[in-house]
Amino acid sequence: MAQDDAGMIREVRAKSNAAIAAHDAEALARVWMTDVTVVISTGATTSGREANRASFAAQFASRPDVVYVRTPEEIEVMKSWDVASERGTWTGQWTQADGVTKIGGNYLAQWRKVDGAWLLQGELFVPTHCTGSSWCTTHP
């Protein structure tokens, strides 16, 4: 049976989460369009697949135990334009010198279907909580 578009997006999101858990920036970059734009929890914006791949590679190097998990709550597909909206919650965790940082919040992602494959065009991550280390007490 053919998988619906929302199911395909959930599958790609699961691959994205697995790539982060494995610290595999190359695999993570394969789920992005070349012009992907990501706004992270600190408000920093990174545009382009290569720049975002390099950003994740740097995090993996500086935070050896970092992990992020994105959990979709709602996916809406507009088939006529091959575009979809994903809304959900995210968590992140890594060890700082003074404790384990635990951060999370809400996210919104825009997907585009390109040659039959769903790819991320943009993501926005908004923090709603942060605990565990001094990293949380200073606004970035």
Which whole number is the average pLDDT over 31-38?
Answer: 98
**Beta-bridge partner residues of 63:** none
110-120 pLDDT, tens digit per residue, is 999 999 999 99
Q: Based on the structure, what is the number of domains in the chain? A: 1
Confidence (pTM): 0.93
Question: Which CATH number characterizes residue 81's domain?
Answer: 3.10.450.50
Domain that holds residue 12: 5-137
52-102 pLDDT, tens digit per residue, is 999 999 999 999 999 999 999 999 999 999 999 999 999 999 999 999 999
